[in-house]
Amino acid sequence: MTSPPWHNPDPRGRYHLLIIGAGPAGLIAAQTASRWGAKVALIERNLLGGTCLNDGCIPSKAIIRTSRLYREMRDAEHFGGRVPAGIAVDFPAVMERVRRIRARLSARDSAERLTAMGVDVYFGEARFAGPDSVTVGGLVLRFKKALVATGARAVRPPIAGLEEAGYLTYENVFDLTECPKRLLVIGGGPVGCELAQAFSRLGSRVILVQDEPMFLGDEERDAAQLLSDALARDGIDIHLNTQTLRVRVEGDDKVADLVCDDTKSRVTVDQILVGVGTVPNVQGLNLEAAGVSHDDARGIRVDDFLRTTNPRVFAAGDVCAEGKFPHIESAAGRIVVANALFLGRQRLSAEVVPWCTFTDPEIAHVGLYVTEARRRKIPVKTFTIMMHEIDRAITDGEEEGFVKLHVREGTGKILGATVVASHAGDLINEISLAMSTGLDLDALARVNRPYPTQSQAIRMAASAYVRSRPQKIRTWLKRQFLACDRR
């Protein structure tokens, strides 16, 4: 966030890199390029930090942390603790903490700080004026290379009566000052699941509606099932395979008609939160003037080097159609700087991209899914360790979940992994590191770790692979030992 009033600087000739959008992709590109001495302009129409800082990753993780605390307090007896019955949630204090954290982190990427780094920061709506120029606030900025990193916005689903009834999305849910007593969440992707669980733990009676048979789309089925069980244990009323037909207002209530197969039902709530995905921000940019090919629904077309159809213009982050990895904006920002300013040939597809849904338990994944590997005719073998076998998971009361490592059959080469655990987002990093540096399961099995830690699960899964190696090796070793005895 900026401290007003801000005066846009005078343009400094032709910029080496002009960036539209100051979310993670735009910010990392601006900082990296200016560190290398490039003349950089950064244009933002709203708040520095973009969705991630203001309406996404940061506020959601802050609220999730507090909701976990309330859950733990309710579970205190399980850990030998005692807290007064009927714990009251101080919702305004929860949201105040969210705002405090957001404000603290925003200082890191403030306009003043960026300016001090040599970045020219402009506030206003950016619009291409031609293949090498952009207008903002009445100024014309010229560029050698440009990066479009304008992100995406929440989808507004065409549900009859929804607009009239009013609803929340991630863009305004963190502005709530009162916790809704009854909350309907439409959408069982990461955003819907994370927020449904958080609000349920903060005291809302949550109904979660997902139009598919499982949560989290393409995630492995047993991971999605564990999540479904966990959400149900939190008291969330789950409706899978269910459509929201229409919404209407009755007095102070919002009433939604649902249908699952042919069975109709009705729910009455105080608020509706919609989390059914995003659409890329391409409107108003006048991309036609720059010769940048795009699609209103899917975003800007880029190749593996993040180049658009205008050789001067790159795109990264949620605004891109192809190669869209929502969790890789920072890497994409760096790739653009290398490819745009230094004749680099860095490919987005070369990145190892882990991701995580921060529910409790967390669900993290990296690399290939088994179904994907089979589709590509890659033979796969999976090694699984359940978290309830792990000493530290038992001592921490965090026994739910598993570590699954997928390897190319007959080798220790890691193709992918799914981790469901309380701290899966941290555990997955070791596997990502192994994949990006070419380490195999032999190496992971040999890593010494402090005892007890939950990453023991990774070692045990890797050891299971080592033990499963073809009988031939063991027979050969046996023969060597026998020969040794005879000597």
Ligand X SMILES: Cc1cc2nc3c(=O)[nH]c(=O)nc-3n(C[C@H](O)[C@H](O)[C@H](O)COP(=O)(O)OP(=O)(O)OC[C@H]3O[C@@H](n4cnc5c(N)ncnc54)[C@H](O)[C@@H]3O)c2cc1C
- Closest distance between ligand X and the C-beta of residue 191, in Å? 5
- Closest distance between ligand X and the C-beta of residue 49, in Å? 7
Backbone angles phi, psi at 225, to 5 degrees: -65, -40
Backbone angles phi, psi at 112, to 5 degrees: -65, -45
Secondary structure letter of residue 369 according to DSSP: -
First-to-last alpha carbon distance for the chain, in angstroms, is 77
- Closest distance between ligand X and the C-beta of residue 427, in Å? 16
- Are 368 and 358 in contact by the 8 Å Cβ rule? The answer is no
- Closest distance between ligand X and the C-beta of residue 26, in Å? 6
Using DSSP, state whether 86 is helix, strand or coil. coil
Q: Which two tokens stand for residue 94?
A: 């929860």
Distance between CA atoms of residues 26 and 147, nearest Å: 8
Residue with Cβ nearer ligand X (339 or 456): 339
- Closest distance between ligand X and the C-beta of residue 316, in Å? 7
Residue with Cβ nearer ligand X (320 or 405): 320
- Closest distance between ligand X and the C-beta of residue 441, in Å? 27
Residue with Cβ nearer ligand X (111 or 439): 111
Classify burial at 177, counting beta carbons within 10 Å of its beta carbon; exposed 0-12, middle 13-18, buried 19 or more.
exposed
Residue with Cβ nearer ligand X (190 or 416): 190
Distance between CA atoms of residues 304 and 293, nearest Å: 15
Task: State the Cα torsion 338-118-44-354 to the nearest 10°.
Answer: 40
Residue with Cβ nearer ligand X (327 or 446): 327
- Are 285 and 150 in contact by the 8 Å Cβ rule? The answer is yes
Distance between CA atoms of residues 412 and 439, nearest Å: 9
Shortest CA distance to 353 belongs to which of 308, 285, 417?
417
Residue with Cβ nearer ligand X (327 or 449): 327
- Are 284 and 271 in contact by the 8 Å Cβ rule? The answer is no
- Closest distance between ligand X and the C-beta of residue 57, in Å? 4
Residue with Cβ nearer ligand X (34 or 456): 34
Residue with Cβ nearer ligand X (301 or 469): 301
Residue with Cβ nearer ligand X (209 or 328): 328
Residue with Cβ nearer ligand X (52 or 206): 52
Q: Provide the angle, in degrees to the nearest 10, between the axes of the packed helices 456-467 and 424-437.
A: 50
Distance between CA atoms of residues 69 and 62, nearest Å: 11
Residue with Cβ nearer ligand X (300 or 373): 300
Q: How far is CA 49 from CA 44, 52, 247, 313, 385, in A?
A: 9, 6, 34, 22, 38
Task: State the Cα torsion 247-249-253-256 to the nearest 10°.
Answer: -10
Distance between CA atoms of residues 329 and 319, nearest Å: 10
- Closest distance between ligand X and the C-beta of residue 224, in Å? 18
- The residue ranges that bind ligand X (CB under 6 A) are 20-26, 43-46, 50-52, 55-57, 60-61, 125-126, 149-152, 170, 191, 281, 284-285, 317-319, 326-327, 329, 358
Q: How far is CA 35 from CA 143, 147, 448, in A?
A: 18, 17, 37
* Rg from Cα positions in the chain: 25
- Closest distance between ligand X and the C-beta of residue 239, in Å? 21
- Closest distance between ligand X and the C-beta of residue 251, in Å? 30
- Closest distance between ligand X and the C-beta of residue 54, in Å? 7
